Amino acid sequence: MKVVGIDIGGTAVKHGLLSEEGTLLTAGEFPTHAEKGVENLFHNICKVIDGYMSSDILGIAVSGTGQIDGSIGKVIGGNPIIPGWIGTNLVEMLEEKYGLRAVLENDVNCAALGEKWLGAGRNAHNFVCLTIGTGIGGGIVLNDDIFRGDTCVAGEFGHIQIVKNGVQCMCGKKGCFERYASATALVRMVKDATGQVLNGKEIFELEKQGDMKIKEIVDSWIDYFTDGLSTIIYIFNPSLVVIGGGVTKQGDYLLKRIEKSLARKIGENYRRNLEIKFAELGNNAGMLGAEYLLLKKMGRIG
C-alpha cells in the first residue's frame, strides 16, 4: 500500500507517492498560486491525488502552512496568504471526496515528526526542533508524539522576545527571536551594516574568504540564536535539539559555533546529555512527518 504525501507551502505545493516505510517513490511540484484562493488550491491538489489513484492508496498525508489543529485537520490561523485557507477543514474535504483516511498538520510540526521517524531524531523520544528560514518555526516532540498545546499553537519559538523594544515583528510585538536569528534577519543585518544585499549562502562564502565585517555580523547572529535557544533548553531540558532550514547546509562550520556559543549560556546539567544536530531529511521532512501521523492514526505504526 502507498501513501499520497502533500506539502502545501506559500509558494509551492510538493507532492509524492510514498511507501509505508517512508521512501519517496515519485515526486512532483506545482505553484501554490496562493492569491487564487483555497478553492483553486483544493482543485489542484485533487488533480494530483487523482493521478495517484491508480496505485493502491492507503491514505493522504498533508503538511501545511499556518496554524493548524492537527487533531482534526483544520486550519485555525496564521498568515492569510491563501484567501479562505483559515477555517478550511482539509481532512474532512479529502476524506469525503476520496473515502480514504487523511491527516493535515502544521509544516514545522510535520518536519519534527519526519525527523523523529526517519531523520536526526529517530532515536529520541523527546526533543525540540527549530527551523531557521524566513522566520523561526518550532516543533516539540514529547513521548514520540507532537505536543500541540491546548489550542494547537504550541512551539512558536520565533515569537519569544529576546530584545526589549527591538525590531518590529509582524505578530505585533517588538524584539522577537525570529527578527534577530532567522535567515531573513541575517540578510537584514548584513544589509544594514554594509549596504550589500546578499543571500545566506553568499554571506557565509564571504565570511570564509576572511571578510571580518561579515564575520562580526555572523557571530552576533549566532549569539542571538543561542540566546533564544538557551531559553528553550531551560524550559524543556531536552537531550536533543534538531535544527533545520537552508543555513544548515553550512554543516559543521556553523554547528560547532552554535555549540560553542550555547555552552556559555546553559548550566552543566542542561549540557550534560544535550546533542545539537542539523536536520537530515531536507525538503521531504514535511511529507514524511505527515505520513508518520497518518500511519499512527491508522494504527499501522506504534
Q: Which residues bind Zn ion (CB under 5 A)?
A: 159, 169, 171, 173, 176
Residue 121: CB minimum distance to Zn ion, A: 26
State the nearest-atom distance from the C-beta of 171 to Zn ion, in Å. 3
Q: Is the CB of 43 or the CB of 173 nearer to Zn ion?
A: 173
Could you tell me the sign of the dihedral formed by the alpha carbons of 125, 72, 48, 14, in that order?
Answer: negative
**Which cell numbers in the block locate residue 269?**
546539567
Rank residues 74 and 179 by Cβ distance to Zn ion and give the closer one.
179
Which amino acid appears at position 292 of this protein?
Answer: Y
Residues 6+ apart with CB under 8 A from 191: 197, 198
For the bound state, the minimum distance from the C-beta of residue 166 to Zn ion, rounded and expressed in Å, comes to 10
Provide the grid cell at 246: 537552508
Query: Measuring CA to CA, how many Å separate 101 from each of 91, 205, 215, 251, 293?
Result: 8, 46, 50, 38, 11
Between residues 148 and 179, which has the closer beta carbon with respect to Zn ion? 179
Residue with smaller CB distance to Zn ion, 176 or 295: 176
At residue 249, the 3 state secondary structure works out as: helix
Least distance (Å) from Zn ion to the CB of residue 149?
Answer: 17
> What is the nearest approach in angstroms of Zn ion to the Cβ of residue 174?
8
Residue nearer to Zn ion on the CB measure, 167 or 263: 167
Cα–Cα distances (Å) from 190 to 183, 215, 226, in that order, read 11, 10, 19
State the Cα–Cα distance between residues 105 and 152, nearest whole angstrom: 10
